[in-house]
């Protein structure tokens, strides 16, 4: 499967995963200025900007390591611009990883990925 198809599949899996946990998808691949946010979801008054990372079992050290500092800055800039349209709403940045592990897919939801919990190193 090529890289684009793998990414699209990962985003659809993440969307399903989040919906099963009570999130409602508001936008998919939303362009905000020069930046793109994979998924924007909401639950109650919370807007969550979700970066989806999809990887094979050993590709580049796993999906969680694929979000670098520059990408965090771009995602934060896009989220800030988008969230300005919705004052008085809380926002959060999450990462959903979809990784191939032997004969199955493993999905992990990293809540508040830029906050106290941080991204895996």
- The CATH number of whichever domain residue 25 belongs to comes to 3.40.1350.10
Backbone angles phi, psi at 114, to 5 degrees: -100, 0
Q: pLDDT grade, residue 117 (50/70/90)? A: very low
Return the structure tokens found at 84.
Answer: 């300005």
Number of H helices, E strands in the chain: 2, 5
Q: Which residues pair with 110 in a beta bridge?
A: 95
62 assigned to some structural domain: yes
Q: Write out the residue range of the structural domain in which residue 77 sits.
A: 3-110
Q: What is the mean pLDDT of the chain?
A: 82
Helix (H) / strand (E) element for 70: namely: helix 69-83
CB distance 17 to 61 below 8 Å:
no
Residue 48 lies in a domain: yes
pLDDT in tens, 75-111: 888 888 888 888 888 888 899 999 887 788 889 998 9
Rounded to the nearest 5 degrees, what angle is found at the Cα of 22, between the Cα atoms of 81 and 19?
80
Provide the number of structural domains found in the chain: 1
The two beta strands, 104-110 and 35-43, are: unpaired
Query: What residues does 101 pair with on adjacent strands?
Result: 104
Does residue 31 sit within a domain? yes
- Asked, for residue 118, whether it belongs to a domain, the answer is no
Does some domain include residue 10?
Answer: yes
- Model pTM? 0.82
Is there a domain that residue 115 lies in?
Answer: no
| Higher per-residue pLDDT: 20 or 4 | 20
Domain assignment present for residue 40? The answer is yes
């Amino acid at each position: 499967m090529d890289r684009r198809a793998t990414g699209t599949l990962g985003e659809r899996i993440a969307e399903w995963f989040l919906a099963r946990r009570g999130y409602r998808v508001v936008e998919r691949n939303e362009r905000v200025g020069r930046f793109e946010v994979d998924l924007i979801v909401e639950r109650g008054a919370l807007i969550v900007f979700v970066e989806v990372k999809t990887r094979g079992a050993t590709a580049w050290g796993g999906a969680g390591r694929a979000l670098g500092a520059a990408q965090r800055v771009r995602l934060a800039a896009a989220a800030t611009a988008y969230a300005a349209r919705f004052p008085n709403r809380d926002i959060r940045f999450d990462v959903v990883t979809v990784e191939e592990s032997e004969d199955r897919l493993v999905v992990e939801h990293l809540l508040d990925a830029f906050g106290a919990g941080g991204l895996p190193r």
